[in-house]
Structure formats: structure tokens, C-alpha cells
Homo-oligomer: A and B are copies of this chain.
């Protein structure tokens, strides 16, 4: 059975990969549960980027034999989270700057699609929820509450994807979000007030287009929004180790292989 130490490994309100990849009850089987746990384990940054994935150790940690673990590794490799080297096992995928740009663009394309579909399908109450989140976010912006801002921001984007009501889209979105999860942004909004204001204005446009159900327009805005987000973010891949955030807890920063250090709570996204 799976070790209880992993139970708390899941992140706060993040869209890691909650969507069953194929409309199937994956969580039921040992394979599905192990896969989810292992994915979280890696996405959370418990393994340094570029580091080998230690089969033996993970087998003990998760209390399974190598067979199901290796199956999970193959799947994670197909998700792009790790890479398999012939006869050398698996390594945690390390993102170069260009790969990161590519992933960001795909995220932009997926959000653009989500926005367009959301305009077609969202209900009035669904819109109301997003509108309220938007106002909450604006309030957080006014009082310079980064954490509150981030939370609302992510919730808005997640709601848009949800409103698109497209299962493969949601799954794919979650996959790419997970891949980019370990990427932190050096230039967060503290140091980049201009971007913060700009992002806030973009969100005004987003809400407005959504209100008018202007699909193509919202689509375009969302893509540019993601583009600007990337451009504003001086990228830096870091490793967060130790206790994971659950609500209000603060993470410890542990340096691994990179000299980079991030003391504050994660600033997962700007914008």
C-alpha cells in the first residue's frame, strides 16, 4: 500500500492533473493511484530537474514492486515530465529556455481555445462566478496582496477551462500546467509593478470579452495575455523541497544542484 507520507504531497489549489485522462476510473487501480502520486511527487519538485529517478528508492517509498512503478514512469515520460534514457533509466526533465517558451505558447493556445469554447457554452451563473473571482482579484491587486491575487488568477483561468466543457482539453491543459509547474518566475510582481498593472488591465479585457461572449476576441486576448506573462517572467527553474504548501504553510527552500534559492512562497504565475 502507498506510504502515508505522500498523502500530504498534493498542492494547494493547483490544477495539477485532477482530470482522469480518459474518462476512466484510473484512481481505482493501483497503477492509477501510483501514477497520480508519482506525478505529484515529481511535479512538486521533490526530485531535482535532471536528476535520475531512483527506481529502487521510489519502490520502497511507495511500497510497490518495480513493475507498476516502471509502468508509471513510462506514462510520465509520455506526458513529458521525465525522459527515458536507454539502459540508463529515467531522469527528471529539465527545461531549457526555448522549451519553456514552447510550452508557454501551447498553454496560450490551449487557453485561447478554452476561452473561445467558454464563450459558447458558459452559463450565466458560471460567468457570475468568474466575475466574482475577477473582482476579488482586483481587490487583492489594490491591496497588493500577491498571494490572494495569484489564487484568484489561477482560479479564473481554471474556471475558463472548466467552462469550455471539453474533457480532452482539460486533460491536456492540466498536463502542460503540470509541466510548467516547477518553473518559477524570478521577476514576480513585487519587482515588476508595471506588469502587474498590465496584467490587471488584460484581465479587465478578458472579463469584458467573456461577458459579451465574444469568443474569437477572448481567444486572442488570452493568447496575448499568456505571451505577455511569459515575456515578463525572467525564468528560472527551481527545486522546492521539503514541506509543501497546504493553505498557509510556508515552504522551505532547499537548494539542489542549482545555486538558485527561493525563500518566499511560490509565485507560480504572473498574470
**Is A230 an interface residue, CB under 8 A from the partner?**
no
- Number of chain A residues whose Cβ lies closer than 8 Å to a Cβ of chain B: 48
**Is A187 an interface residue, CB under 8 A from the partner?**
no
- Selected from B83, B167, B216, the residue in CB contact (under 8 A) with A220 is B216
With known contacts A86-B29, A216-B220, A77–B113 Cβ distance under 8 A: no
**Is A110 an interface residue, CB under 8 A from the partner?**
yes
A57 contacts which chain B residues (CB < 8 A)? none
A70 contacts which chain B residues (CB < 8 A)? 71
Return A200 CB to nearest CB of chain B, in Å.
23
Q: Is the CB of B28 within 8 A of A86?
A: yes
Within 8 A of B (CB), among A132-189: 166-169, 171-172, 176
**Is A264 an interface residue, CB under 8 A from the partner?**
no
Nearest opposing residue in chain B for A79, CB measure:
B78
A116 contacts which chain B residues (CB < 8 A)? 109, 223
A74 contacts which chain B residues (CB < 8 A)? 31, 71-72, 74-75
Of the stretches A1-9, A100-108, A254-262, the one at the interface is A100-108
Other A-B contacts than A102-B167, A106-B168, 10 sampled, CB-CB below 8 A, are A22-B93, A32-B84, A70-B71, A71-B74, A72-B74, A75-B78, A78-B78, A105-B169, A113-B223, A168-B176
Q: Chain A, 3-40, contact with B by CB distance < 8 Å: what is the 0/1 string?
A: 00000000000000000011111101101100000000
Q: Is the CB of B166 within 8 A of A105?
A: yes
